[in-house]
Structure 1
Amino acid sequence: LELLPVHGSLAPGPGPCHEPPSPCHEQPFLDQYEVLRAIGRGEFGQVHLARHRLTGAEVAVKVLRLSVHNIPVLSEPHVLKRLEHPSVVRLFQVMATPEKLYVVMELAAGEQLLRRIPRGGMQHKEARRVFRQVACAVAYCHEQGVAHRDLKPENIMVDAAGRIKLIDFGLGARCRPGQKLHNFWGTLAYLAPEIVLRQEYEGPAADVWSLGVLLYFMLTGSRPFRARRAQDVLMAIVQARFHVPSSVPPQARRLIRQILTVKPEKRPTVQQILQHPWLMGAPDSPLPPPAEDLRDPSAWDTCPACPTCPTCPSLLSPIFLTGFLINCFQTKWIPNFSFPRSKCRHMEGTVGPRAEGGAQRSPVSQAWTSVTPSAVKIGTLTGQESQ
């Protein structure tokens, strides 16, 4: 039995043992932990609720079967040991036998976010508060060089106080900036187009796409890409065919369209998403129209390069408006605010045809997808289906 203590809060067990496989290999684990009950099941193993015998602390223990077929899933301990954030599940200890891997983790309180999303979607303020926490957790992971690659409501726990915890890094990957990944894993409804097409991809950009699907689901109660057949779902994803209901706040609609962009290089980063006006709590208003490119946050509120340009939102400051309205009252002049935004030379290129996922797209079938939400390996699809 080999033990790898990650945090000092749980005492490590005995040293390495290189005996042949036998039932005694599990005894050191049972000496430290009392297994209470199973609380989850996956393709490669089970998750148990257990109690640390020395401290009495309750933990979650993921028991994975070791085989050549689930090597990517076994990367979870190597991913989690880099992370320590209040919104990310903590790794305590790892124990390995010739047949199994025991991953001892923090027990995330509460329930899955999936159970908190009603049929018509969450309240907008609640959805914004929860999504902001999720985005902060994902941004931290990306800063630490980790991509989750399976972001969905089932992998987000929410406690009674509304605090979230990101769990299940079984498909997580360590990646450097600009590094391309080649493992095509994930959950069907949340897959990025580049993964569906089996192209090399960057993990953070794929996570951003999943965040867009998650936000859509939270606000509407349904997924943006849904159909009766898995092939139709995949086709809708690669073509970004979706429709955002008018019940979604205008700024949130823009954010979803900007995130669900087919080309990964045109998607915002998670840090840029966190700076979006909707997540910053700005009031929902169709005026002035925001920049379609989230990679230029300076275009959202002001245009410091041209403070005198009549089409820039920088003129809409309280001081300017006060003096401007007083002047209008004195001169009895009624201004026309219908300035074409393209006249501002400093804003050219920020507004134009809507990016992929825009309002011009026709809505997809309203039928719920019959595909199970468990993780699937896209590599098992035929080449024709994946395209």
Structure 2
Amino acid sequence: MPKLFWRKPRSSNDHVAAAMTLHESVADEKASPTKITAYRRAIDHLENDRKWQSDMAVGKRIGLYKLSGELGKGNFSQVKTGYHELTKERVAVKILDKTKLTAKAKKMLSREISVMESIHHQNVIRLFEVIETYTKYYLVMEHAAAGELFKRLISEGRMHESEAKTIFAQLVLAVKHLHDRSIVHRDIKAENVFLSSRGVAKLGDFGFSITVSSDEKLETFCGSPPYAAPELFLDQRYVGRPVDVWSLGVLLYFMTTATMPFLGDNMASLRQSILAGRMTTPAWMSQPLRLLIESMLNTSSDGRIKVDQVLKSEWLKEASAYQNRFNNNSVYGHWCAYPTADCSEATDTELNARRALEALGIGKAMLDEHGPRGSRSNVVATYRIAVHRLLQQRRLMVQTPAAPVAKPLKKTKSRLCAIT
């Protein structure tokens, strides 16, 4: 894994800095001016086209991405839809203003990038590129067309258990993937779960994530209070994995009831409710689901069910088994975040991606040169987008037809805790 570093632009203007950074990518192509490839043409536009430069100056473009509508907004950031110039792929671009970032926020950003570079899973949002200018950071990520799970629950109410089961199994598999690699998320909530148009769930926002050993104790209170485990309110050191399981339990309750299990008008009453474990389950909730939620929301971290046990629970085991088969790389292809140095070892997906890049003007020499830069290279980003698109197409071709959709439930008004 190449070491990540912040690369300082060399110009006082954001759009000029981005263009100069991209300019370095085509040094080898300029030696052969007879053929103007799509990649070279895009770089020339960045350097010389007044319309492109005007768009960059007013925030309508960054690098090879045209920016459009806003997808979301946070304390230090906003997320916009972007379109990659060469592949026309739709992406999500997280924009962070450097002037508003505290030292802690910068550390979280660095950690988020590092984790997203190292984790590759069907149910985790993928990172394509990181662009830095004098005033902003841009994280270019996979776009989930159906948006946040939170907005889906607020607008449409609780999910049928069958629908919730399909979504939740994917999230638990993503968390298991993290835990197996010694990573704890620490901010699992509906706002950080994203849905594709075909029902694929994606876990995102890794700012609070951390790499820890299985029994290593942590100290920092992370995440949203309504999703926080009891041990986080005790001002004691805590183990990370059980905290993620608790948050998953709160999320599952919210998905299937459109309410939060623990409520409070202020932080003190919310804390008291969570520490006491006071929770009621609706009479219509199935017994297997009720037992699973109760085992995940055990106030004792030692007695709390583990991720592997969640997957094997009576309520979830069938759905998790199906989703696990669906994520089988031998059938659906491997995600390749970095170009393989030896093409003889490349997968069929990567070879097809390389052919697509050749047509755009990005050859093996450029991939070999830019590979170590990872997300800091627009060449690697284009490669990642090409691989991602091929994997998506392959999954659509072989995906088992979805089960009949159940009749919509009577809309339940969502009841949320006042503390966020």
Instruction: Report the TM-score, using the length of structure 1 for normalisation.
Output: 0.66
| Percentage of identical aligned residues | 34
* Alignment match of 2:108 (pick from 73, 76, 87): 73
After superposition, what is the alpha-carbon deviation per residue over 1:109-130, rounded to whole angstroms, capped at 9, x for unaligned? Answer: 2132223337763212112222
CA displacement at 1:367 relative to structure 2? 7.4
Counterparts of residues 344-363 of structure 1 (less than 5 Å): none
Q: Check if 1:123 corresponds to 2:165.
A: no
Partner of 2:89: 57
Question: 2-side partners of 1:69 and 1:251: how far apart?
Answer: 41
Asked whether the equivalents of residues 227 and 368 of structure 1 are also in contact (C-alpha less than 8 Å), the reply is no
Question: 2-side partners of 1:17 and 1:210: how far apart?
Answer: 38
Partner of 1:369: 417
Q: Residues 81 and 367 (structure 1 numbering): CA distance in 2 closer, same or farther, change over 3 Å?
A: closer
Q: Which moved more, 1:154-163 or 1:127-136?
A: 154-163
* Aligned residues between the structures: 278
CA displacement at 1:369 relative to structure 2? 2.6
Asked whether the equivalents of residues 18 and 132 of structure 2 are also in contact (C-alpha less than 8 Å), the reply is no
Asked whether the equivalents of residues 5 and 94 of structure 1 are also in contact (C-alpha less than 8 Å), the reply is no
Q: Check if 1:36 corresponds to 2:83.
A: no
Q: Kindly report the root-mean-square deviation, in angstroms, between the aligned alpha carbons of the 2 structures.
A: 2.7
Asked whether the equivalents of residues 9 and 17 of structure 2 are also in contact (C-alpha less than 8 Å), the reply is no
CA displacement at 1:276 relative to structure 2? 0.7
CA displacement at 1:206 relative to structure 2? 0.7
Q: Which has the higher contact order (CA 8 A, sep 6+)?
A: 2
**SS of residue paired to 1:185:** coil
* Alignment match of 1:19 (pick from 2, 6, 10): 10
Question: 2-side partners of 1:59 and 1:142: how far apart?
Answer: 27
Partner of 2:353: none
Instruction: Report the TM-score, using the length of structure 2 for normalisation.
Output: 0.61
Question: 1-side partners of 2:265 and 2:121: how far apart?
Answer: 39
Question: 2-side partners of 1:102 and 1:278: how far apart?
Answer: 40
CA displacement at 1:5 relative to structure 2? 11
One-letter code aligned to 1:25: A
Partner of 1:219: 256
Asked whether the equivalents of residues 127 and 142 of structure 2 are also in contact (C-alpha less than 8 Å), the reply is yes
Question: 2-side partners of 1:85 and 1:140: how far apart?
Answer: 8
Question: 2-side partners of 1:127 and 1:101: how far apart?
Answer: 35
* Alignment match of 1:203 (pick from 219, 222, 240): 240
**SS of residue paired to 2:199:** coil
Asked whether the equivalents of residues 244 and 253 of structure 1 are also in contact (C-alpha less than 8 Å), the reply is yes
Question: 1-side partners of 2:219 and 2:134: how far apart?
Answer: 28
CA displacement at 1:88 relative to structure 2? 0.8
CA displacement at 1:269 relative to structure 2? 1.4
Question: 1-side partners of 2:259 and 2:237: how far apart?
Answer: 29
Counterparts of residues 87-166 of structure 1 (less than 5 Å): 87-117=123-153, 121-166=158-203
CA displacement at 1:101 relative to structure 2? 2.2
Structure 2 segments unaligned to the other structure (5+ residues): 23-61, 320-413
Pick the structure with more helix per residue: 2
Structure 1 segments unaligned to the other structure (5+ residues): 7-14, 283-365, 374-387
Q: Decide which structure has the larger Cα Rg and report it.
A: 1
